[in-house]
Copies of this chain bind each other. A is one copy, B any other.
Amino acid sequence: MPRLVVIGGGAAGMSAASAARRTAPALDVVVCESGGFAAYGMCGIPYYLGGVVTEAENLLAYPPEEFRENRGIDLRLHTRVGLIDQASRQVFVSQGDREEVLGYDTLVVATGADPVRPPVPGLGHDRVFTIRSLDEAIRLRRLLEGGVVRRALVVGAGYIGLETAEGLTTVGAEVEVIEALPQVLAGFDEPAAGVVAAELTRHVRLRLGSRLDAVGDGDGDGGVTALVDGSEERTDLVILATGVRPASGLLIDAGARYLPDGSVVVDSGMRTSLPGVFAAGDCVALPHLVLGEPAWVPLGPAANKTGRVAGTVAAGGTSAFTGVVGTAVMKVFDLEVARTGLSLTEARAAGLDAVATDVTSRSRAKYYPGSSPVHVRLVHAPGGRLLGAQMTGREGAAKRIDVLATALQAGFTVADLAALDLSYAPPYAPVYDPVLLAANQAVRAAANAGG
């Protein structure tokens, strides 16, 4: 019986395994997951830490038995793959002290991404955590429930750092967020980042342009001394949220092609450059439909979708992943923060001639109570082609960004956007939706640029 081995039991890996099983019912499907959980929603971890999600098990899409018993998938937890031997089509596997060589006909590598650990002394301290695996999150939650964390230091104001900061305030901690860059959320331009920073400072202490230099023991109470910008701070917990990078070491060691950022190159069927070896999820580069070239955009929906494609194709079926436009949303306390496509900074870094149009509108009709501001930035070429968008607001930003994501996939100009027939009722939007107001202003800007 031919065998598919899947490395990694996250969203991509379990999607691949399930898709392969549906495609080829007779295939032997083995999943090796290094941690103690599979198929869990990694994006839910900050909410689990904050107690909004009560049990770790709630984060599981399905329990292990569903895969083992109902789907006939040999799901092996606590099972680490040390090496891919592509010549012999074998992987070297260890589970505790037990080692095994596992042959494969096809292989799906879905090893995800790893937290970046900056070269700071003392990060081995047992009060220093990253937010990536559910196993680590369970240990952290236990610590939080122990009542010893009155203060916490979050290092990094990217989306994981900010979501975790919110979770920690939910359980009553006094939180400080430090960020080496001069703004929060590097993927956003300053107007949106400024709105987010203002919201943050209502709930946490925020220090931009600040660095963690070292971590050491506290005063014998189990706490931590953090050296920040040369000054010592006492805290009870350090969260390292300084970014992630592709966990592509196994594939690179095996000879797979990869980009300078370490993300693995795949085709639309999620085939790597190694015959019979597929990759999916947060370790691969995907076609970026706005950039017109592969880019590393590690996010949950694409992990699920690329896993499904990889598993289907690896099992002999037909499927294709067409690409991403870089859509993301997050909740920052009472604010919805969303983006799609390129920021102005990203567009210019990619050599594109880009301008931005900023409009502040509102979430409901002027006369309808409960309205709040919606900030929209459109990033577009001077001639009008839409390149990206950012939105923030207390309501009406999170899913409104999807209109722009759809417009990007369609290759719309701002004039196409302005022509959209968007829904209107007083409780949900002004009669000119914020997207239309921004588009109208961008059309005028484009007309002036052209004239």
Seen from chain A, the residues whose Cβ lies within 8 Å of a Cβ on chain B are 11, 41, 43-44, 47, 52-53, 58-59, 61, 289, 299-302, 304, 322-331, 336, 338, 340, 365-369, 396, 398-403, 405-407, 409-410, 412, 416, 419-429, 431-433, 435-436
Q: Are B420 and A409 in contact (CB under 8 A)?
A: yes
Integer count of this chain's copies in the complex: 2
Q: Are B409 and A304 in contact (CB under 8 A)?
A: no
Q: Are B424 and A301 in contact (CB under 8 A)?
A: yes
Q: How far in angstroms is the closest Cβ of chain B from A414?
A: 13
In the bound complex, residues from chain B placing their C-beta under 8 Å from that of A43 are 365, 424-426, 431
A213 to B275, CA, bound (A): 76
Tell which of B304, B325, B365 touches A41, judged by Cβ atoms closer than 8 Å. B365
- Given A44-B367, A367-B41, A369-B52, is A431 in contact with B399 using a C-beta cutoff of 8 Å? no
In the bound complex, residues from chain B placing their C-beta under 8 Å from that of A420 are 402, 405-406, 409
Q: Are B431 and A41 in contact (CB under 8 A)?
A: yes
Question: Which residue, of A301, A400, A425, A428, has the highest number of chain B Cβ atoms within 10 A?
Answer: A425
- Given A41-B367, A412-B410, A428-B331, is A423 in contact with B403 using a C-beta cutoff of 8 Å? no
A-B contact pairs, 21 of them (CB 8 A): A11-B431, A41-B431, A43-B431, A44-B367, A44-B368, A44-B426, A47-B426, A52-B368, A53-B369, A301-B422, A327-B423, A328-B423, A329-B423, A330-B425, A331-B425, A398-B427, A402-B420, A405-B423, A406-B407, A407-B410, A409-B416
A429 to B300, CA, bound (A): 12
A43 to B331, CA, bound (A): 31
A398 to B420, CA, bound (A): 15
